[in-house]
Structure 1
Amino acid sequence: MAGLAATVADARSLRYDAVVARPRAAGPPGPRHAGLAAALAVAAKPRQGPFRIWLGAGVWREKLVVAAPDVWITGEDRSGTRIRFDAASGLAGPDGYPWGTGGSGTIIVKAPGFHAANLTIENSFDPAALGAEAPHDRQAVALMLAAGSDRTLLARVDILGRQDTLYVNAGRSIFRQCLVAGTVDFVFGAGQAHLSHCEVRSRGPGYIAAPSTNRSSPVGLVFDHCHLTHEPGVAAGSVYLARPWRPTRQFADGLYGDPDAVGMVNYLHCRMEAHIAPAAWTSMTYRDRAGERVALEPGVVRFAERGSTGPGARRQRAQDSWPG
Structure 2
Amino acid sequence: MHHRRPSKPFPPFLLLFMASLLLSLLLFLFLLPPSQTGGAAPSSSPAIRNACRATRFPSSCEPSLSQSPSLPSNPSAANLIDAALSVSASALPTAQSMAESILSASSSNPDRATAARNCLDDLSLSARRLSAAAAAVGVANSHAFAGAALLYQYDCWSALKYVNSTRQVAAAMSFLDSLYALTSNALAMIAALRRFGPDVSLWAPPQTERDGYWGDLSSTVAAEGGGGLFRLHLVAAPDLTVCPSGECDHRTVQEAVNAAPDYGLKRFTIFIKAGIYRETVRIPFEKTNIAFVGEGIGRTVITGDLNAEMSGISTYNTATVGVAGDGFVAANLTFENSAGPKAHQAVAFLSDSDHSILESVEFAGHQDTLYARSLRQLYRNCRISGTVDFIFGNSATIFENCDIKVVPRQESPEKGESNAVTAHGRTDPGQPTGFVFKDCIVNGSDEYVSSYRRKSSVHRVYLGRPWKEYSRTVFLNCYLEEIVRPEGWLPWRGEFALATLFYGEYESSGPGANSTARVSWSSRIPAEHVGIYSLENFIQGGEWVTGE
Short-chain TM bin:
0.7 to 0.9
Q: 1:239 aligns with which of 442, 461, 474?
A: 461
Tell me, in whole angstroms, the C-alpha distance in 2 between the residues paired with 1:47 and 1:262.
35
Tell me, in whole angstroms, the C-alpha distance in 2 between the residues paired with 1:311 and 1:127.
27
Matched, 1:87 2:306: yes
More helix by share: 2
**Structure 2 counterpart of 1:121:** 335
More strand by share: 1
| 1:301–1:322 Cα contact (<8 Å) kept | no
Which amino acid is 1:239 matched to? V
Which amino acid is 2:470 matched to? V
- Percent of pairs identical after alignment? 29
**Structure 2 counterpart of 1:307:** 507
> What do residues 254-294 of structure 1 show as CA deviations (whole Å, max 9, x unaligned)?
xxxxxxx4010000111011110111112113xxxxxxxx6
Which amino acid is 1:211 matched to? H
Tell me, in whole angstroms, the C-alpha distance in 2 between the residues paired with 1:240 and 1:35.
38
Matched, 1:58 2:258: no
Q: Quote the offset at 1:48 in angstroms.
A: 4.1
> What TM-score does the superposition give when structure 1 sets the normalisation length?
0.79
Alignment of 1:1-324 (within 5 A): 5-7=232-234, 14-23=236-245, 32-45=249-262, 47-67=264-284, 68-92=287-311, 97=312, 99-128=313-342, 138-146=344-352, 149-204=353-408, 205-213=418-426, 214-231=428-445, 232-234=447-449, 235=452, 236=456, 238-246=460-468, 261-285=469-493, 295-318=495-518, 321-322=522-523
* Structure-2 change in CA distance of 1:274 and 1:195 (3 Å): same
* Structure-2 change in CA distance of 1:318 and 1:46 (3 Å): closer
* Structure-2 change in CA distance of 1:318 and 1:238 (3 Å): closer
SS across alignment from 1:316? helix
| 1:195–1:224 Cα contact (<8 Å) kept | yes
| 2:435–2:474 Cα contact (<8 Å) kept | yes
Tell me, in whole angstroms, the C-alpha distance in 1 between the residues paired with 2:263 and 2:487.
52
Tell me, in whole angstroms, the C-alpha distance in 2 between the residues paired with 1:280 and 1:41.
44
* Structure-2 change in CA distance of 1:70 and 1:24 (3 Å): closer
Tell me, in whole angstroms, the C-alpha distance in 2 between the residues paired with 1:48 and 1:160.
31
| 1:299–1:321 Cα contact (<8 Å) kept | no
| 2:363–2:383 Cα contact (<8 Å) kept | yes
SS across alignment from 1:221? strand
> What do residues 34-84 of structure 1 show as CA deviations (whole Å, max 9, x unaligned)?
110100101144644111100000110110111111100100122110000
| 2:437–2:478 Cα contact (<8 Å) kept | yes
Tell me, in whole angstroms, the C-alpha distance in 1 between the residues paired with 2:390 and 2:487.
19
Q: Quote the offset at 1:316 in angstroms.
A: 2.1
Q: Quote the offset at 1:145 in angstroms.
A: 1.3
* Structure-2 change in CA distance of 1:318 and 1:81 (3 Å): same
Tell me, in whole angstroms, the C-alpha distance in 1 between the residues paired with 2:448 and 2:321.
30
Which amino acid is 1:40 matched to? V
Which amino acid is 1:284 matched to? W
> What TM-score does the superposition give when structure 2 sets the normalisation length?
0.48
Q: Quote the offset at 1:4 in angstroms.
A: 7.8
Which amino acid is 1:143 matched to? F
SS across alignment from 1:65? strand
Tell me, in whole angstroms, the C-alpha distance in 2 between the residues paired with 1:308 and 1:45.
44
Q: Please, what is the CA RMSD of the aligned residues?
A: 2.3
> What do residues 155-179 of structure 1 show as CA deviations (whole Å, max 9, x unaligned)?
0000011000111110100000000
Name stretches of at least 5 consecutive residues in structure 1 with no aligned partner.
Answer: 26-30, 129-133, 247-260, 286-293
Tell me, in whole angstroms, the C-alpha distance in 2 between the residues paired with 1:61 and 1:312.
37
| 1:143–1:166 Cα contact (<8 Å) kept | yes
SS across alignment from 1:33? coil
SS across alignment from 2:232? helix
| 2:371–2:393 Cα contact (<8 Å) kept | yes
Tell me, in whole angstroms, the C-alpha distance in 2 between the residues paired with 1:272 and 1:15.
40
Which amino acid is 1:227 matched to? I
Tell me, in whole angstroms, the C-alpha distance in 2 between the residues paired with 1:167 and 1:52.
23
* Structure-2 change in CA distance of 1:229 and 1:23 (3 Å): same
Greater displacement, 40-49 / 263-272: 40-49
Tell me, in whole angstroms, the C-alpha distance in 1 between the residues paired with 2:440 and 2:360.
13
Which amino acid is 2:269 matched to? R
Q: Quote the offset at 1:102 in angstroms.
A: 0.7
| 1:197–1:226 Cα contact (<8 Å) kept | yes
| 1:299–1:322 Cα contact (<8 Å) kept | no
